[in-house]
Structure 1
């Protein structure tokens, strides 16, 4: 057979085999037989079936941005008529509300909450927890893009910032116990009956590390930095409340394990997340600061004049370091004042020509000056303030409406002074004054 004829027969055989394989390939992906519209409609039907399939609806702990905010639990019960019943622990109102939703087609399939309900509280730009989030709100969304299902969970990504959000099947207890999340919030904030100072302690089974623990109730966010020299690790995290403890995001990674669920122990006020092989992370109280500094020396006699100020109408109000007891004492002053009067500032002027002065200013009345002496507790790295006079009068009694507040600054066990690493909007350094005896902590600017 001539070579050219051999090539001709071989080419014909290859063509026949190719045509046969194209018409008889039973393993071909049927996805390519569907149009994009068909695929989207199938996904829409799939999502609709999933949303209606759970007897008690769905639960989502929504961390809108876990670099600045915590998590907010939402419960959803979808109905065939396009309505949804919803509840959340965004605030004390955990009642169930009905609104409308729609499964929408775009570049992908999404569920959108089309009429206002609890989820929209996270997306309103004029509703924000701290000045830094002004005009941004809680960075949330009310449209979630569908990305499939896994282990009985529905996987979404948020339309606003493309963050993953998972719906897990809710239980009857989730609805009944939602208000307990807000009761747990009080334990995260901390009781006035417990020590002020707290820490996060991790244990990888062999080694423990300690971190400070600074929680902001307004943002549900924790700043937690190592207190050990040469160990520059942080565990900043958003916090979501549960009836039995908290869930955090991002996870606290210890010994290669990621811990997210912390269980509350009412006996000592601790929260513990437990892994395997001895791995734990525990948030617990301590009677003194983890690190004592020499920052208190700024206020000792012989130093220059310094001015420290807390202002009720400015950013010091937002400091996460202000304790609940301190805020309560400010409120008590205002409650005791006549109508039309309120406290504006608590300022500390050290080493003036008249000595050290605690200066209280008010709306609707003249300021009041408390003259004090300053003593050093070198061993405890604290200052101790002692009464001299009110407005220059050594015989004048403490004004009744200031008595409860002022006694904390006069703590016989002293005051810790700490320069903070953060700023409060302006460039001035921030200092915190803390009672050594109880959970009283006031944050100020150092203004000169």
Structure 2
């Protein structure tokens, strides 16, 4: 598909950023064509050659890009993880089915999206980041509007950056909410906007009147994140959410986050007295040219004792290792009573006093990339044996997870026999980490 002058194809999801990128490229004289995902893309693309496709129409996607003689591809916009039952496959899907299965089976967002990039590059396209295609959308260092952060905010920003760095290897936590040195929320598979809404709801029902005031949304790329796909984005809706949650401001990693509708975002921020700033992260970081520092549970030695009649399958052990490693990473931030991992994908972590049951209920409404099996999948890891209650067993069973892993290696394996009987009755695995230092 490559050769000759630059020609840009945009594989567009939801939101206004795909249209902004198209307008930016067209203004610089680069021909643009749009391949819009049905049910996702919602911007007005009437000014550009447009092909609408279902997630399952891989052949139609590639034909549209070939017809447009595209040399470069931007993959951008809000998407929901596709359900297999909603796919409308064409012959292209079946032709590339082995590759598609490997992509879906990769687990976490970073792994899936890297394989998506590799797939399109194998078709002769150069996948470029949204920031490369439209540099003016990138947030630079400094304030976006008139409001500024104060010293307490900057301390919270530094803490938030540290948490995102710590969680980066586990492919989770692109955004966090920090207030007065305390982590209130960590983004899971639900995305930034839903995390902010969740924090706003909890603040609104808090007994403390001051809990609704202040705090910072901190958003940055994960260490070694491939910026060609899933580049972090903020926009007017982010500001609206921050205002509803009573936050003082939004801090994003300068040079590595996009802003949608910059003027409106700045105007909304000024109207809400919410600061929006690009902030450089001066903390330790994986060099950009270094191999990704991604956690691989398959190479970690972490022995377990099984407390139930049912024993864990291999995939459940790997999910347990990753979930407990996430809790270990959160330990120094004094947060994280529970983590849910399904098929190597971290769906949710507990933070800010949310509680184990609420975290499990939230995770049950989230999902990873489409599973190709109906077997029980996933592990809920608990920091303490004290959180292993009948209600937690019920939550895990109803969510269809394989079982529960307890991080506290000092716990007695004879603790809570009634709860273990509940787990046996439901066919739920309960395993206990045997050595606290095994993953170090």
Structure with more contact order per residue of length (Cα contacts < 8 Å, sep ≥ 6): 2
Larger proportion of strand: 1
**TM-score, normalised on structure 2?**
0.29
**TM-score, normalised on structure 1?**
0.29
Larger proportion of helix: 2
Larger Rg: 1
